[in-house]
């Protein structure tokens, strides 16, 4: 029997980080939350590229601090750490659990490749109905996507053939483009409706509905 795996990015793909982050930052920024998030996302890849490796908790905290400075907002240390401090309030998208259950019922093993710390993902893992078969975190590999390190670690640990592997993600920058460069089949869950050309992904879907059928088609 084939050893088939589906790997996932987590935040933005399976878990609604945007709503969770926005709610956490509301007391700090009020109606300027979209500006603060945009500034945060400018700083995040810079912080993740720093050496020595920063924990994701540190990236989140320092990213918010620098973003607030960009906007001229004065915040305390506790306010800078509000996102990791409210991590357990990030919720799974409504369409995710049916999709995961369908994949499991069809015999696929499921893994997560996440730009997250072990302890933060442990909180997130509790929000799913069933545990994933394998989890690769940034803390484990001491690196952040779009670097291919997560993918390489998963490849070694799973013993998978690339032909039996599909990667599923929302972020083009962090996941779909790296998967393309590695020659992997990928499903782009375009929740953000970016308008980007989908040609670099094996398939594009607007949400997780129907994911199992798409994976089955790609696996052949």
Query: Given phi > 0 = left and psi -120 to 50 = alpha, else beta, which region is 107?
Result: left
Query: Is the pLDDT reported for residue 196 higher than 90?
Result: no
Query: Is the pLDDT reported for residue 60 higher than 90?
Result: yes
* pLDDT (average), residues 194-200: 87
pLDDT of res. 2: 77
* pLDDT (average), residues 195-203: 90
pLDDT of res. 172: 94
* pLDDT (average), residues 191-220: 93
- Delineate the domains of the chain, giving CATH numbers in brackets: 5-16+91-219 (3.40.50.1000), 17-88 (1.10.150)
Model confidence pLDDT, tens digit, residues 135-163? 999 999 999 999 999 999 999 999 999 99
- pLDDT tier at 197 (50, 70, 90 boundaries)? confident
Model confidence pLDDT, tens digit, residues 85-100? 999 999 999 999 999 9
Arithmetic mean of pLDDT over the chain: 96
pLDDT of res. 27: 94
User: pTM value?
Assistant: 0.95
CA distance 185 to 167: 6
């Amino acid at each position: 029997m084939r050893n088939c795996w589906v790997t996932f990015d987590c935040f933005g793909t399976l878990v609604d980080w945007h709503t969770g982050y926005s709610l956490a930052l509301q007391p700090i920024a009020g109606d300027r939350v979209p500006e603060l998030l945009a500034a945060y996302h400018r700083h995040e890849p810079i912080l993740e590229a720093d050496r020595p490796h920063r924990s994701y908790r540190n990236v989140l905290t320092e990213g918010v601090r620098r973003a607030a400075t960009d906007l001229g907002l004065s915040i305390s240390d506790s306010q800078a750490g509000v996102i990791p401090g409210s991590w357990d309030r990030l919720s799974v998208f409504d369409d995710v659990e049916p999709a995961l259950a369908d994949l499991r019922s069809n015999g696929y093993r499921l893994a997560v490749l996440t730009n997250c710390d072990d302890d933060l993902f442990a909180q997130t893992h509790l929000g799913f109905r069933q545990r994933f078969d394998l989890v690769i975190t940034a803390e484990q590999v001491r690196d952040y996507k779009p670097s291919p390190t997560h993918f390489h670690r998963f490849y070694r640990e799973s013993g998978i053939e690339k032909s039996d592997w599909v990667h599923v993600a929302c972020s083009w920058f962090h996941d779909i483009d790296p998967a393309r460069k590695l020659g992997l089949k990928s499903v782009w869950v375009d929740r953000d409706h970016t308008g980007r050309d989908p040609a670099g992904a094996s398939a594009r879907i607007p949400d997780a509905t129907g994911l199992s059928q798409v994976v089955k088609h790609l696996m052949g």
